[in-house]
Chain A
Amino acid sequence: MRVARGARSAATSSSGDPREDGAAPGGHERARRDTLTPVPSRFSALAYLGYRALLAHPLKLLKEPGSGRERFLANYAPEGLLPTSEDERRTGEEASACIACGLCDAACDLAGAVPAIRALGLHATFRLYSKSSVELPWAAAALDACARCTGCEGVCPTGVPISRIVSSLRERLARYPARP
């Protein structure tokens, strides 16, 4: 009944492509195949890992520049994938109390903002803008629209510290790399 299992189904291929080890059509990445393919059994897989542990990996470490953290941040910081400080996490927890009721929107027109930002309203600050620091740079214009009048304090039924969160997001934004 079973004609094919997993990726070992080259026999059924009509494209004539010898798809050893699930290689993709058209022979892309052929150069890579040497490093990836010759692992027919668990024994040789383990032997391969042993080789990596004793030889390849220590050599690889020697060749890598900088500390692990530096390499990690070099990989991710330019994409906005920055660490989340305890302070930022606390701000997030406070913003989580927002139930999107809109009472703060009625209390604050974001009068200084362009219509596109006003259409999003103040409560987007606690929901849309602050949920992901990677997307925070998109909210720069919206956060700029706040006049820091603190007139919104005391309008939130669930106790979101509105103006504090706005300032905290602004501070975070100032430390950010350019837009994603």
Chain B
Amino acid sequence: MTNGSDASSGGAGPVAADVLVVGGGMAAVMAALAARDAGASVVLVRRSPGATALSSGAIGVAPAHGATAADPFSGRPGPVDSARRIAAARPDHPYARLGVAVGRLEEALPFAAARLDLLAPYTGRSRWIATPYGSAAECALCQRTMAPGDLAVAGPVAAVGFRGHLGWDARLVAHGVARLRAAGAPPAEAVEIDAFRTEAGAVAWPHELARALEQPGAAEETGARLREALPPGTEVALFPPVLGLASQSSVCDRIAAAAGVAVAETVADVPSVPGLRLDQALRAALVAAGVRVVEGSLDEARGPSAPVIVRGLEISAAAWVLASGRFIGGGIVRRGALLEPLLNLPVEASEGGAAGFHLARRPSASLTQRERGAPQPLLAAGLRVDDRLRPVDTRGRPVHEALFAAGAVIGGHEHASDGTGLGVAMLTGYLAGRYASGR
């Protein structure tokens, strides 16, 4: 990665923009794109890839609450309905804080799909994409390479493992899909084809496999092997999420053409090739939209009222969007107590279902529950925002009229327990960008 589009133009004079976005993940990029779309000039300061690059690569907005493996996919509510239900049930969730604006998911989802060309179009309903764990992730948006594997509509599936690649177990995936028959998933079988081998022997890393598959002829050869191995009647071949490292990669289509079936990927865990692709697509979208990107970290700032200096570049902007992430991105940290390190905004945590700023000082054991899978308030800690996404102080008033927050830096949600991670980032990013640009 090079020094972004701008920081290298050292010696440049002060930069003035309408909107400054802090962060480099889904929320930040959506904010920048939405503000730009509304006509604002935008500078985005990004230290590194964030949690988005480590994500599964699909965008879950809101899983249907309480659905079991036996409930038919077709009867489950769509993502926007599910988001409204979450808002109604959990007043601290960002979807609830937004009030009626949660309905603007209907705008934000197609906007994201249009700007990030690796995403499949938004259809108004959820897709169910298999995971390497043999479960299914409910997504409002997914990458084009995943869409043919939507278990709600796919025909008979073969989970295709690479022999020699121990990181993805076709049997586990096939069994998981088959288990969802009652919900409407297709029948599934597991097959293995010969592993991609380099001169070094079996390839182990997902990104190495992805690169190997991008080599000339590799996808076609894989497709030919797949054709031989496929059980009769297979309509979709479900691959590990390694079908090309570039967001514009055609590996998926080339394998499909050579094999004569539809080809899809599952979502990923870490290290996540689809996550890397998503990160690439975000950066490409910024460039395409004319957002000025400054690579560097913002260590000291006072908010929209004063200019900041990043790598010697002075930046001032009338409105700020703070999309600095949670613990991975460093937007929220805990050093004995939870805090927001950049602007020292108050951080809210919850305990026993009640949220409060004073809880940020509670011991970590008090902010967690014994059962791992339960919602963990410590992991959902973050800023509290008003209905215009402005962080509020301990008395509930916006800290600054033109300071907005988006994504995981806002508390009250946690992807691992409520499945709303990138959906919140996308919606709050989109809205914060609109609000910051004055629309």
Contact = CB atoms under 8 A, between A and B. Distances in A.
Q: Do A and B have CB atoms closer than 8 angstroms in the complex?
A: yes
Interface of A: 99, 101-103, 105-107, 109, 115, 118-119, 121, 151, 154-159
A159 B47 contact: yes
A158 B276 CA distance: 16
A99 to B, nearest CB: 7
Contacts, number: 52
B416 interface: no
A45 B32 CA distance: 77
Contacts of B329: 157
B200 A115 contact: yes
B284 interface: no
A106 B245 CA distance: 9
B207 A105 contact: yes
A105 B211 CA distance: 13
29 contacts: A99-B328, A101-B270, A101-B271, A102-B270, A103-B48, A103-B49, A103-B271, A103-B276, A105-B205, A105-B207, A105-B271, A115-B201, A121-B205, A154-B1, A154-B3, A154-B48, A154-B295, A155-B1, A155-B48, A155-B49, A156-B48, A157-B48, A157-B49, A157-B50, A157-B51, A157-B328, A158-B330, A159-B47, A159-B48
- A interface secondary structure, majority: loop
A105 B330 CA distance: 21
Interface of B: 1, 3, 47-51, 53-54, 200-201, 204-205, 207-208, 245, 270-271, 276, 295, 297, 328-330
A102 B53 CA distance: 10
A101 B54 CA distance: 7
Contacts of A119: 204-205
3 smallest A-B Cβ distances: which pairs?
A102-B271, A115-B200, A106-B207
Contact of A159 (B208, B270, B330): B330
Contacts of B330: 158-159
B256 to A, nearest CB: 25
A119 B330 CA distance: 29
Nearest to B272: A102
Contacts of B49: 103, 155, 157
Contacts of B47: 154, 159
